[in-house]
C-alpha cells in the first residue's frame, strides 16, 4: 500500500502538508482558513490520507483535536520529509552566493534589544539583499518557531543539552548578579561588597579577589522576579533556597527591563544578568552585588533545529557574532 502511495510524489507531499496544518492548528476549521480551502475539502483530504495508511490520524472525539498513536508516527514522518525538502531547497539556494535569501532570528527582549542589533548591522552592511526577520518571544514561543521552521536561529539560555530536538552552538558565558534599590537600608551593612558600574563593564568583579555578598542576609528583603518558567526566575528561587530561605516576592513581571525600572523605584531587589548592566546608564538607583552560587553562571547559546541544513546566511551570521561554527552534518 505504501509503495503505491510513495509513487505519487508531489501529490503525497501536498497531502501531507494539509494533514500537518490540521495537526498544527488542532482544528479542521482553523486549518482550512489558514490553507484558504473549504473545511469539507480539507476533511476529505485527511480522510483520503487515513484510508491510504489504513488507520485514523486524528482522534475527532477530543477538543482540541489530538493525534492517535499511529497519527503521531505519521506526523513525525511528515516533519522529517518536510525538513529534507527544506534542506534541499536551501542547499541549492546557497549556490547563489547570498545574492538573495532570508534569515529568521529569535530571542528574548534582552537579546533582541541589545545583542542582535549590532550583529544585524554588520550582516546587513555585507549582505543587503538578505531579508532578516527578528522575532521577540519567550522560550516556549521560540522553540515552537524552531520546530515549525519559521525560525532559523534562536539565542537563549534556557535550552539545555538534554533536549534531543535542538542543536546548541556556544556563544558565551554570562553571570547573574543581585541588584538592590539604593534606598534599602540593608545596603549599609554590605558596603564592602558593592560593585561599581565599571566593575561590571570591565568584568573586574569576576576576579576571585572580589568577594560575593552573603545572599542569605537578604532573606527579609522584598524581591521582584520574572514570571514562573523564566530561566532567571527558576535560578533565583533555587539560589535563595540554597541559602536557606524563600524569596519574599512582591511582584512578578514579564519583561526584565520593566523589572529593572520597577526596582529602580525602590519596590524590590532582583536577580539580573550582568550583561544588561553594561548597556544601561549608571544613575546610582541600584546597588549591585556578586553571587557565589554555581547557578549564577550560565551558558548563552545559539540554537537551531537538529537535522536541518545550516544555510550560508546562518553560518555567516554566526561568524559575525564571533561564534565557532560547527562543521556541516
Instruction: Give the pLDDT band of residue 84 (cuts 50, 70, 90).
Output: confident
| 156 and 236 within one domain | no
Asked whether residue 130 carries a pLDDT value surpassing 50, the answer given is yes
Asked whether residue 4 carries a pLDDT value surpassing 70, the answer given is no
Contact partners, residue 72, CB within 8 Å, separation at least 6: none
Burial (Cβ within 10 Å: 0-12, 13-18, ≥19) of residue 262: middle
Where residue 118 sits, what CATH number does that domain have? Answer: 3.40.190.10
Q: Report pLDDT digits (tens) over 91-109.
A: 777 666 677 889 999 998 8
Please indicate, yes or no, if residue 328 is contained in any of the structural domains: no
Please indicate, yes or no, if residue 204 is contained in any of the structural domains: yes
Give the residue-averaged pLDDT of 294-308.
Answer: 92
Decide if 264 contacts 258 (C-beta within 8 A). Answer: no
Q: Of 14 and 317, which is predicted with more confidence?
A: 317
Task: Write out the residue range of the structural domain in which residue 263 sits.
Answer: 173-298
Please indicate, yes or no, if residue 160 is contained in any of the structural domains: yes
| 313 and 220 within one domain | no
| 205 and 140 within one domain | no
- As given in the structure block, the three cell numbers for residue 269 are 531587589
Instruction: Give the pLDDT band of residue 159 (cuts 50, 70, 90).
Output: low
| Average pLDDT of the chain to the nearest whole number | 88
| 304 and 276 within one domain | no
Give the residue-averaged pLDDT of 300-328.
Answer: 89
User: Max CA-CA distance within the chain?
Assistant: 79
Whole-model pTM? 0.73
Instruction: State how many domains the chain has.
Output: 3
* Cα–Cα distance measured from residue 255 to residue 118, given in angstroms and rounded to the nearest whole number: 21
- DSSP conformation class of 165: T
| 285 and 186 within one domain | yes
* Cα–Cα distance measured from residue 168 to residue 324, given in angstroms and rounded to the nearest whole number: 12
Q: Report pLDDT digits (tens) over 217-233.
A: 999 999 999 999 888 99
pLDDT at site 62? 85
Of 132-136, 137-141, 258-262, give the lowest mean pLDDT range: 137-141
| 123 and 104 within one domain | yes
| 255 and 279 within one domain | yes
* Cα–Cα distance measured from residue 285 to residue 261, given in angstroms and rounded to the nearest whole number: 10
| 306 and 167 within one domain | yes
DSSP symbols for 166-188: EEEEEEEEEEEEEEEETT-GGGG
Please indicate, yes or no, if residue 74 is contained in any of the structural domains: yes
| 182 and 167 within one domain | no
Which of 92, 122, 137 is the last residue before a domain boundary? 92
Please indicate, yes or no, if residue 326 is contained in any of the structural domains: no
| 241 and 138 within one domain | no
| 310 and 240 within one domain | no
Give the residue-averaged pLDDT of 14-25.
Answer: 85
Which of 92, 115, 149 is the last residue before a domain boundary? 92
- As given in the structure block, the three cell numbers for residue 112 are 533582541
Peptide bond into 214 cis (omega under 30): no
Give the residue-averaged pLDDT of 195-202.
Answer: 95
Please indicate, yes or no, if residue 325 is contained in any of the structural domains: no
- DSSP conformation class of 279: T
Where residue 11 sits, what CATH number does that domain have? Answer: 1.10.10.10
Which of 69, 92, 115 is the last residue before a domain boundary? 92
- As given in the structure block, the three cell numbers for residue 170 are 556556544
| 54 and 161 within one domain | no
pLDDT at site 1? 44
* Cα–Cα distance measured from residue 100 to residue 94, given in angstroms and rounded to the nearest whole number: 9
Of 6-20, 43-57, 194-208, 280-294, give the lowest mean pLDDT range: 6-20
Alpha-carbon dihedral 119, 120, 126, 132, rounded to 10 degrees? 150
Please indicate, yes or no, if residue 287 is contained in any of the structural domains: yes
Burial (Cβ within 10 Å: 0-12, 13-18, ≥19) of residue 98: middle
pLDDT at site 160? 59
pLDDT at site 45? 87
Amino acid at each position: 500500500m505504501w509503495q503505491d502511495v510513495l509513487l505519487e510524489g508531489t501529490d503525497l507531499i501536498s497531502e501531507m502538508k494539509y494533514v500537518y496544518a490540521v495537526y498544527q492548528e488542532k482544528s479542521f476549521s482553523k486549518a482550512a482558513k489558514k490553507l484558504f480551502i473549504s473545511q469539507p475539502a480539507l476533511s476529505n483530504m485527511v480522510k483520503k490520507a487515513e484510508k491510504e495508511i489504513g488507520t485514523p490520524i486524528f482522534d475527532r472525539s477530543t477538543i482540541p483535536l489530538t493525534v492517535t498513536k499511529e497519527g503521531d508516527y505519521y506526523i513525525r514522518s511528515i516533519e522529517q520529509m518536510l525538513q529534507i525538502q527544506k534542506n534541499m531547497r536551501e542547499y541549492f539556494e546557497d549556490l547563489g552566493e547570498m545574492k538573495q535569501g532570508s534569515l529568521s532570528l529569535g530571542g528574548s527582549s534582552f537579546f533582541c534589544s541589545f545583542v542582535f542589533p549590532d550583529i544585524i548591522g554588520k550582516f546587513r552592511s555585507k549582505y543587503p539583499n538578505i531579508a532578516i526577520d527578528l522575532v521577540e518571544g519567550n522560550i516556549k514561543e521560540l522553540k515552537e518557531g524552531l520546530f515549525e521552521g519559521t525560525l532559523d536561529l534562536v539565542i537563549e539560555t534556557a535550552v539545555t543539552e538534554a533536549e534531543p530536538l535542538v542543536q546548541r552552538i556556544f556563544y558565551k558565558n554570562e553571570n547573574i548578579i543581585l541588584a538592590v534599590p539604593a534606598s534599602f537600608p540593608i545596603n549599609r551593612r554590605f558596603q564592602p561588597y558593592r560593585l561599581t558600574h565599571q566593575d561590571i563593564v570591565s568584568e573586574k568583579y569576576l576576579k576571585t579577589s572580589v568577594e560575593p555578598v552573603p545572599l542569605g542576609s537578604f532573606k527579609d528583603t522584598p524581591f521582584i522576579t520574572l514570571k514562573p518558567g523564566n530561566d532567571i526566575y527558576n535560578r533565583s528561587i533555587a539560589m535563595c533556597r540554597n541559602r536557606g530561605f524563600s524569596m519574599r516576592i512582591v511582584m512578578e513581571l514579564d519583561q526584565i527591563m520593566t523589572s529593572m525600572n520597577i526596582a529602580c523605584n525602590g519596590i524590590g531587589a532582583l536577580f539580573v544578568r550582568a550583561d544588561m548592566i553594561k548597556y544601561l546608564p549608571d544613575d546610582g538607583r541600584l546597588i549591585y552585588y556578586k553571587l557565589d552560587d554555581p547557578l549564577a553562571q550560565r551558558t548563552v547559546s545559539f540554537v537551531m533545529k537538529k537535522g536541518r541544513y545550516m544555510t550560508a546566511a546562518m553560518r555567516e551570521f554566526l561568524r559575525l557574532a564571533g561564534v565557532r561554527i560547527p562543521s556541516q552534518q
